[in-house]
Each structure stands twice: as structure tokens, then as C-alpha cells.
Chain A
Amino acid sequence: MNPAVGLPIVMALRLATLAATLLAARRARAARLIAFPGSAAASVVTMLTAVSVLRSGSPADGVWFVHRASQLSLSYSVDGLAAWFLLVLSVVAVPIAIFSIGYCSSPHFSRRSAFIGALYNVLLGAVELVFVAGDAIAFLFAWELMTLATAALVATEHEERESRSAAYLYLVMSHIGTGCLIAGFLALASASGSLSFSAALSGAVAPGPTRHVLFALFFLGFGVKAGVIPLHIWLPEAHPAAPSSISALMSGVLLKTGVYGLMRVCAFGLGAPSLSWGVFVVALGGLSAVLGVLYALMQHDLKRLLAYHSIENIGIILLGLGAAMMGLAYGRGDVAAIGLAASLYHVLNHAVFKGLLFLGAGGVVMATGTRQIEQFGGLLRRMPWTGLFFLIGALAISGLPPLNGFASEWLTFQAFLFGFRGSTDSLVHFLFPLSGALLALTTALAAACFVKAFGISFLALPRSRAAGEARESPAVMLVPQAFLAALCIALGLFPGVVLQTLGGVTTSLTGGELQQDPLWGGLGLGMTSGLESFDHLVPAMLGAAMAAGLAVAVALTLRRAGAAVRRVPTWGCGGELTAGHEYTATAFSKPLMMIFQAVYRPTRQVEALAEASPYFPREVRYHAEIEPTFQRYVYGPLVDRVIKVAAGMKVLQAGSLHAYLAYVLVLVVGLVLLVWWRG
């Protein structure tokens, strides 16, 4: 569907759904049944629009509104990059909407159905506008609308202090970012003489050093939204606080608006990136990936754990993007094309598997009433389908073949190795293998973390009564998870299809051609791009080999007819095995905590309460904590400084109207003089 037709339909659908939801606000069930299916329908139209742009390969743009006097216009522009992000958005927005119908009918959220449903539509509309905006004004308007809608959704459970403060933190951090973006766009506009992206982002409009300042401003602005470490502190607070379906959307798509901005402006909008920018992006990507997964390992709140994994995956996305920027900087379009393809592929994959995992977590939290992994256990028996889908998501996020996470991480590795061969710069020769090693570490740690998250939550004996009595989610919540799980498998088995879809985008942005290995078509990944061929991948062949291997294993252990498996109790070290014997999540991640002490700087207090002899304690209290490094050493002092400055500025705030009028007068006179003086 042509964007000129598709976009107005989407917006009309969203507005109509919004109005109908608000009209039905008093009847929760009706509101749910209007808001979410309506939103899903709009997302389907978005998907069709995005697919048509990706398929035709020609960008579509147009103008919505022109203000004649000021020559100000609001315009849209859907090129390959925007279409790709629209596709990612709608692929996860549809299942999340269906899931929400069931999720919001739980007693906990039922009375807020209209609130969540209405804002869900506003939020999706805003994100769609962010991706299609063709000028700075439309972009910033949509950006702000998106921020406000998200903040409201984070504060859905506003009785909880935790939710309120998470929403507040999110607002503050987002607005610091938005401030940087406004400054950046104004500077770009004044340099290029136009607010429209096609002019302002057409290349190196700003001279030398200004370009670096602009890069820094935009990186800060978009980096906050993407949750790049050290700008991430709002993320692990806001994602768990929101309702799970919204968390899925925040993790899957909203973070990607930051990535979109980084690509649109920082990587390909300010002229050819300088090598130092690429190094900067790779360095922060590596930092986010490793620290994200390390912090995730220590979390025992399921949603918080997933939130930290989002930081990790944003890091992986940035590693690919950084490699692409470095490739462009040293003049290898083909390296850049592979890096960008890896990055965009991972954007899609992360949206799919993280959406799936958050939906599964939502079902579990709804069934047990807690987010603490240590309170789960044995859920696979009570919730077999949720467990199966969560396991598929866990395998995918751990980067294991033949699922989708592996394909995009494989491509990221290729970018580093191609990049290494394509350059003789010693910085590149140092940084690329190091980044490869960091990526390997990240993937392996993620696998450890998800063995813990899945194993402790879903296997063995229930660790609490709530877990023992959990009920499986209704079909309306399971079907979306099944869809996303199937997508995890399909995107892993058909990487060639993804690469073909991406080909136009990467070529137009980097100039590098991604040539598919024709032998395997949609099943394979393999580049013949000028460089010596490095490796190729056909996950389906491995899948077939694994299936054959499984068949052999089953055949080897096939029992003779009649011989049954004997069920015996697990050895409980002399007593009866209870949930108290089981290894806990804390214990599972303890070796890694000890090994990475320098990062975590753990503190622990053990208190033994004894009556007579210290050797026979009546009670032992144990408290362990890892140091919140960034809060303590970066944000704490910063906030103190800001409060001090604000206190100093109180002098200006005299409370007298006359004084305020005088300020205004002085300012206006000052500005007039300035304009007159500068000619």
C-alpha cells in the first residue's frame, strides 16, 4: 500500500479507535474490545505500507500541512530505513495488542482497560509518526507525544510509589535527551536553512568542529531513548513498572526509536562519519552489551532482568552500527553494508524475542502475583505453553542456532572480521577482534542468564504456594506468544529472506552492495561482496542435521515394548527433597558475581542471632547488594550539583511580579539590541 494512502488510513483508524475507546471508557470490556483490535488493524495497515516501500525500493514523501505565512510545513517521508522500522513496529504491535485483550481483563488491570487501550493507540501512532516524520518539527512533536504517552503508561499503577518515581525518572531523562535534540535540530536548520530532513540531513552541512558537537548532541539525545550505558538508568526502573504488554512494546520498539535516530542522524545524516564516531559507538556498544548482561545476571526480578537484557541487545545493535560507521570512515562501503545489515537484523530479532519474553513474563506475573524468580519454580507443569514459548525466546536471545538471535550475531561477527581484513589501520586491528571477543562474552553470559531465568522459574518444584497454584494463561494471551515464537524460528531459518529485504536499505545508506549467495536463496546468509569470502551460513542445514541427530538419540534409547520408565524421587541428601533444597537464582549466579567482583562491588551482611552460644544461632539474616555504580558516582553527584545551582538561582525568583516583568523587559530589549547590532 502506498504511504500516501496507507498513512492517512492508519492515522484515521487510530483516531477513530481512540475516540471510540474514550466513549466506551466506562465499560472496561467494551473498551478493551475496541481499543486493541482497532490498534491491531491499524498496525496491519502500517505493515502493508512498510512492506510496499521495502519491496518497491523507492521512498515516498509528501507534505501534510503548510503554514503559508511562516513557510513552515509538516511533511512525511518513508524511505527504506523508516519502512524497516515501521515493519519491526507493526510485527510486534499486532501480537501485543491481541495479548493485551486478555492481559487487561485480569482483575488487576480491568478497570484501567480504557486508559491503557487509549494510550496504547496514542503511543503507537506517535511512534509511527516518529518513523515517518520528514522534518524536524513533525519529528519533535511525535517524539514528545511518544515520551508523554510512555510516561503515562509507566505510571499506570500510580498508587505504587515505585511506578510514580519510575515515570518521573523516565520523564526527566527523556527531556534531557529531547533538549539536546531540539538544540541539535535548530543548529542543523540554521546551517542548512531548512527544517526538512531532506535538506538538513543531506550530508555535511555543518563545518569541521561543529559537526562533532552536533554528533555529541544527537548521540546524547537519541542515546537516552535507546538506553545506552551510561544513559540507561531510567530503563531498568521504567520497563518493569509498566504493565507487561507495555513493557514488551517499550523494550521491543520504543528503544528502537533511539536506534532509528542514531542511524538517521548520527550515522548517515551528518555526512560521512569520522572514524572517531565509529570508535565511540563501538566502545559504548561493547560497554552496554557486557555491562547490560552482567547486571541482568544479578537480577532476580524477572522483568528487571529482561530490561537489563534490552540494554545488552542495544549494545549488540550498536556494535554492528559502529562497525558500519568505521567501515564508511575508512572507505569500505561493503563492510558498512554488512555492519548495518547486522544491526538492522538484530533490531528486528530483538523486537521479536524480547516481545515474546516480556509477554511470557506478563503471563507468569499475572498467574503468580510476583515478579521474583525465587518465588517461581515448577511453572512448566502448571503453564506448559507459556513455558515452551519462553524457552524458545530464551534460546533465541542467547544467540543459539538455528534461531534468529544467532543469525544477526553471526552477521555482526562477520562485520568485524570483514572489517579487519578491509583495513590496515592499527586502531581497527585492535578494536575489531576485541569487539568480537566482547560479543562472544556477551552471548555466553546471556546463555548463562537464561539457563537461570528459565530453569529456576519453570523447572523442578514450586518455590511458593502461588507458583504451585499458578494457572495457564488463556488462549488469547498464548496465541500471540505462539506467533512470536514461530517468528523466532522462521527468522532464524530464513536469514536470506531478511537480508534480501534489507538489501535496498543498506545499499542506499552505505553504497555497499550485499550480494546473496544464490545457491541457498532465502535459506542462507553469504556475501560475495568484493572482499574475499569469509563464511556463509545455512541454519536450515544445521536444523536438519540436529533433527537427524535427535532421531538417532531417540532410536538409541528406544525402550523395548512394555518396559516403562521408572519414576523415582530425587535424592534429597538423606531427607525428603523440598523446594528449599533447590539451587536458587542467587546461588546460580554467585560464581559470576565473585569473578566479576570488580564490576559489581558486592557488599554483604551476615547477621547471626544467637541466644546462648554463638555457635548455635537461632536465626541468620543475610543481605547482599551490588553497588549501583552509575547512580552513585555519576548521577548522584550530578543531581546534587543541579540542586545546588537551582538553590543559588532562587535569588532571581523573588516572588514579586514587578521583578518578573522587569526581567521580561530586559530580555526583550537585550534581544532587540543584539539583532540590531548583528545587522
Chain B
Amino acid sequence: MPTTVIHPALLALGVLLQSAGMLAVAPLLKVAIKKMKASLQNRQGPPWLQGYYDLAKLLRKEPLRSETASWVYVAGPRVYFAAAIAAATLVPVLTAAAPLESAGGILLLVGTLALGRFALATAALDTGSPFGGMGASRDMTIAALAEPALMLGLFTSALAAGSLNLGVLVRGLVAQGPSFHPSDLLAFAGLLIIVIAETGRIPVDNPATHLELTMIHEAMVLEYAGPDLALVEWASAVKELLYLTLLVDLFMPVGIATSLAPGALLVALAAWALKVFALAVVVTLVETTNAKLRLFRVPELVSVSLGLAFLALAVRFF
């Protein structure tokens, strides 16, 4: 069994550090993508710290809530936020071990994110506004389609590495040394599509729109304001960072620290930042060069991902 006995205090410290770190970095990623997008459109983007300014402003604002809403509306963003942080501790970031890896692996990660989504979608129905329902319906629809493709993509990597536990998986990959199998490319492409869908980016959803007919995630959280909205925005940013980190872990774990030596950690930090940034460039390029798909064309995109994942499995194991 891979579970080694870790001192509870050390475990708590690891969880604390990683979740705080992810919370601290996540707004930067959002801004980085915005800036790159802007420069591709010959615009000047927001300042690097804009994400933090926005969160600080929202957190200071007076909380507004609908008269028709119940406690579910209040609980929604909080559970969403908690799920995002909990999920962030299930993924190895700098070290080839996730702080909470003894709680579970890939399946728990997907389940935790699904819990957050469930909470937010349910809360969206609470104000009685038609937009909330519209967003919740679309978000759950896309999630339902994306989940099998996500699972299949993750299974391919897990079966190749011999474990569904992310810590064990990454350690296995590191021990293997740099290797390349054609199935990696297929699985990576399949998962990238799902990551784009799950993080609400073009061509699936447009994070910058508030046009009623096209918005998905934004429609779901349209009624939220002030501190409640800050939680949602922050958690979404953490989720995005988390998905990119997951791709990095599965396909290019080069540089990840295998010990807690300061030098190794510094190298790991630089490598991680570089790799996530590279992925962010890819996401930005996809977002800039594509138009948003109609909702009913999304299943086609997802089935491409499903097909790629199956091909990856076939290439690897038949």
C-alpha cells in the first residue's frame, strides 16, 4: 500500500501550504490569460495584480441577497469554494506527492469537483431568476457530457502508470524517467478538450460574455454579488489552475521535486510555473482563434475527446 504514515501535523501543514499557495497564484493565471488574449487582439490587458484588486473589492462590498433565496443560496458559493480548495490539495503541484493523497486519487478529485458544481447549480435555481436556471441547466448538461470523457482520459494515464492515486502515479512517472508513447499525445489532446470545457473557455463557454443567449457559467452566477461572488470567482480560478496542473502532472512531470530540499523545491516551482504558463498560452491561442460553439455542437467536441481517449487506450493496450 502506498500510504505511508505521515505525521498529522505535517499533513495539516502540507494541506495548508498547498491550498494557500493555490489560492494565492490562481488569480494571477486568470489575468495572465486575459493579458495574452488582449495582446493578441492588439489591446492592452489589465495590470498583473488586477485579479487581486477585484477580489479585494468584492470581498469588501455589502452582501446583497435575493428576497426569495434560502440558505441553499448562501451555502452554494461556500461549498463550491471549499470543494475547489479540497480538490487543490489532492493534486501534486511542486512535490511528487499531494498533501491529501492519502484521502484518495483521481476519482475523489473528480467527485469533489462534481460536489462543488452540484452546490453551485442548485443554488443558482434559488433566486427564481430564469437566468440562474438557464445557467444551471447548461452547466450540468456540459458537465454530464464531459465527465465520461474526462474519466476515460484519466483512466488511460492511470492504467499506463499503474495507479489511480495521483501521488503514486506521478512518482511512477518520475521513476520511469522521460518517456514518450504515442498514446500520450492522443490522451493529452482528449483531456485538453475536456479541460477547456470544464473551465468554461471558448469554444465551449465564453467567460467574458454576459449575453443571455450564450452565457453558461456566468448565467449561473449572475445573481451573486459582493463577497459571495468573490468566493465563486476565486474558486473558479483555483479550479482552472488545478486542471492545468493536472495536465502537467500527467504528461510532463519533469522537474517536480522528489524531496523537500529547498533547491529541488525552487527548481520545481520554476518548472511548474513555466509548464502551466505554456499550457495557458495554448488555452489562450485556442480561445483567440476559435469562435464559441453553439450549445448543441458541444457534444460533437466532447465526442472527439471521447474518441481520442479510446484511441489512446487502444494504442496502448491492444
Contacts of A519 in B (CB 8 A): 1, 3, 5, 102
Contacts of B59 in A (CB 8 A): 556-557
CA gap between A436 and B143 in the complex, in Å: 16
Q: Is the CB of A565 within 8 A of B63?
A: yes
Q: Is the CB of A395 within 8 A of B115?
A: yes
Q: Is the CB of B143 within 8 A of A444?
A: yes
The one of A448, A545, A579 in contact with B89, judged by C-beta atoms closer than 8 angstroms, is: A545
The one of A528, A553, A566, A595 in contact with B141, judged by C-beta atoms closer than 8 angstroms, is: A595
Q: Is the CB of B231 within 8 A of A556?
A: yes
Q: Is the CB of B102 within 8 A of A536?
A: yes
Contacts of A552 in B (CB 8 A): 81-82, 85
Nearest neighbor of B318 in chain A, beta-carbon distance: A426
Q: Is the CB of A533 within 8 A of B1?
A: yes
Query: A112 to nearest B CB, angstroms?
Result: 35
A445-B144, A570-B223 given as contacts; is B82 within 8 A of A549 (CB)? yes
Counting chain B CB atoms within 10 Å of each CB, the highest count among A398, A519, A559, A595 belongs to: A595
The one of A381, A528, A541, A583 in contact with B130, judged by C-beta atoms closer than 8 angstroms, is: A583
Query: B131 to nearest A CB, angstroms?
Result: 8
Nearest neighbor of A588 in chain B, beta-carbon distance: B137
User: Is B215 an interface position by the 8 A CB rule?
Assistant: no
Counting chain A CB atoms within 10 Å of each CB, the highest count among B65, B137, B318 belongs to: B137
Contacts of B144 in A (CB 8 A): 441, 444-445, 447-448, 592
Q: Is the CB of B81 within 8 A of A447?
A: no
User: Is A534 an interface position by the 8 A CB rule?
Assistant: yes
Q: Which of A454-462, A480-488, A631-639 contacts B (4 or more CB under 8 A)?
A: A454-462
Query: A525 to nearest B CB, angstroms?
Result: 9
Q: Is the CB of A553 within 8 A of B151?
A: no
CA gap between A570 and B130 in the complex, in Å: 10
Q: Is the CB of A440 within 8 A of B103?
A: no
CA gap between A170 and B127 in the complex, in Å: 42
A546-B86, A595-B296 given as contacts; is B151 within 8 A of A532 (CB)? no
Q: Is the CB of A535 within 8 A of B141?
A: no
User: Is B70 an interface position by the 8 A CB rule?
Assistant: yes
Q: Is the CB of A448 within 8 A of B148?
A: no
Interface string of B202-246 (1 = CB under 8 A from A): 000000000000000000000100011011000000000000000
Within 8 A of A (CB), among B124-146: 124-130, 132-134, 136-138, 140-141, 143-146
Within 8 A of A (CB), among B52-84: 59, 62-70, 72, 77-79, 81-84
Q: Is the CB of A541 within 8 A of B100?
A: yes
Within 8 A of B (CB), among A424-461: 426, 429, 433, 436-438, 440-441, 443-445, 447-448, 450-452, 454-456, 458-461
CA gap between A655 and B12 in the complex, in Å: 85
Q: Is the CB of B85 within 8 A of A400?
A: no
User: Is B159 an interface position by the 8 A CB rule?
Assistant: yes
Within 8 A of A (CB), among B146-179: 146-152, 155-156, 158-159, 162-165, 168
Q: Is the CB of A437 within 8 A of B306?
A: yes
A400-B111, A420-B159 given as contacts; is B82 within 8 A of A542 (CB)? no
Q: Is the CB of B81 within 8 A of A577?
A: no
Q: Is the CB of B65 within 8 A of A577?
A: no
CA gap between A573 and B107 in the complex, in Å: 41
CA gap between A380 and B69 in the complex, in Å: 10
Main secondary structure of the interface of A (DSSP, over half): helix
Nearest neighbor of B110 in chain A, beta-carbon distance: A440
The one of B64, B137, B223 in contact with A591, judged by C-beta atoms closer than 8 angstroms, is: B137
Query: A410 to nearest B CB, angstroms?
Result: 5
Q: Is the CB of B163 within 8 A of A549?
A: no
Q: Is the CB of A542 within 8 A of B108?
A: yes
Q: Is the CB of A538 within 8 A of B102?
A: yes
CA gap between A98 and B234 in the complex, in Å: 46
Q: Is the CB of B111 within 8 A of A380?
A: no
CA gap between A536 and B108 in the complex, in Å: 10
Q: Is the CB of B68 within 8 A of A538?
A: no
Q: Is the CB of B134 within 8 A of A583?
A: yes
Q: Is the CB of B115 within 8 A of A417?
A: no
CA gap between A126 and B122 in the complex, in Å: 41
Query: A308 to nearest B CB, angstroms?
Result: 16
Contacts of B65 in A (CB 8 A): 565-568
Contacts of B310 in A (CB 8 A): 433
User: Is B104 an interface position by the 8 A CB rule?
Assistant: yes
User: Is A554 an interface position by the 8 A CB rule?
Assistant: yes
CA gap between A443 and B107 in the complex, in Å: 12
Q: Is the CB of A581 within 8 A of B128?
A: yes
CA gap between A133 and B51 in the complex, in Å: 67
User: Is A12 an interface position by the 8 A CB rule?
Assistant: no
Q: Is the CB of A554 within 8 A of B78?
A: yes
Contacts of B306 in A (CB 8 A): 437
Q: Is the CB of A436 within 8 A of B151?
A: yes
Interface size on A, residues (CB 8 A): 90
Q: Is the CB of A592 within 8 A of B132?
A: no
Q: Is the CB of B2 within 8 A of A533?
A: yes
The one of B129, B138, B163 in contact with A535, judged by C-beta atoms closer than 8 angstroms, is: B163
Q: Is the CB of B103 within 8 A of A553?
A: no
Contacts of B140 in A (CB 8 A): 447-448, 451
Interface string of B9-32 (1 = CB under 8 A from A): 000000100010000000000000
User: Is B112 an interface position by the 8 A CB rule?
Assistant: yes
Contacts of B5 in A (CB 8 A): 519
Contacts of B72 in A (CB 8 A): 380, 391, 458-459
Q: Is the CB of A436 within 8 A of B155?
A: yes
Q: Is the CB of A566 within 8 A of B63?
A: yes
Interface string of B78-122 (1 = CB under 8 A from A): 110111111001000000000010111111101110110110011
Within 8 A of B (CB), among A221-262: none
CA gap between A410 and B117 in the complex, in Å: 19
Contacts of B317 in A (CB 8 A): 420, 429
User: Is B313 an interface position by the 8 A CB rule?
Assistant: yes
Query: A529 to nearest B CB, angstroms?
Result: 11
Q: Is the CB of B62 within 8 A of A380?
A: no
Nearest neighbor of A454 in chain B, beta-carbon distance: B122
Q: Is the CB of A440 within 8 A of B133?
A: no
A451-B118, A592-B141 given as contacts; is B318 within 8 A of A535 (CB)? no
Contacts of A61 in B (CB 8 A): none
Query: A352 to nearest B CB, angstroms?
Result: 18
The one of B67, B124, B227 in contact with A557, judged by C-beta atoms closer than 8 angstroms, is: B227
CA gap between A538 and B112 in the complex, in Å: 13
The one of A401, A528, A535 in contact with B112, judged by C-beta atoms closer than 8 angstroms, is: A401
Query: B56 to nearest A CB, angstroms?
Result: 11
User: Is A582 an interface position by the 8 A CB rule?
Assistant: yes
User: Is A571 an interface position by the 8 A CB rule?
Assistant: yes
Query: B177 to nearest A CB, angstroms?
Result: 19
CA gap between A357 and B21 in the complex, in Å: 40
User: Is B299 an interface position by the 8 A CB rule?
Assistant: yes
User: Is B295 an interface position by the 8 A CB rule?
Assistant: yes
A517-B1, A528-B1, A577-B129 given as contacts; is B137 within 8 A of A542 (CB)? no
Counting chain B CB atoms within 10 Å of each CB, the highest count among A438, A455, A461, A567 belongs to: A455
Q: Is the CB of A545 within 8 A of B86?
A: yes
Q: Is the CB of B102 within 8 A of A456?
A: no
Q: Is the CB of B111 within 8 A of A399?
A: yes
**Interface of A toward B, CB cutoff 8 Å:** 378, 380-381, 391, 395, 398-401, 406, 410, 413-414, 417, 420-421, 426, 429, 433, 436-438, 440-441, 443-445, 447-448, 450-452, 454-456, 458-461, 517, 519-520, 526, 528, 532-539, 541-542, 545-550, 552-554, 556-557, 559, 563, 565-573, 577, 579, 581-584, 587-592, 594-595
Known pairs A433-B156, A444-B144; list 15 more (Cβ under 8 Å).
Answer: A401-B104, A433-B159, A436-B151, A437-B149, A444-B114, A444-B143, A444-B147, A447-B143, A458-B72, A534-B165, A535-B165, A537-B108, A538-B102, A541-B100, A568-B64
The contact sample of 29 A-B pairs, CB cut-off 8 A, is: A399-B111, A400-B115, A420-B159, A433-B155, A433-B310, A441-B148, A461-B68, A534-B165, A535-B104, A537-B108, A539-B103, A541-B104, A542-B103, A545-B86, A546-B83, A546-B86, A547-B82, A549-B81, A549-B86, A553-B82, A568-B65, A568-B67, A570-B129, A571-B129, A577-B129, A584-B133, A587-B137, A590-B137, A595-B299
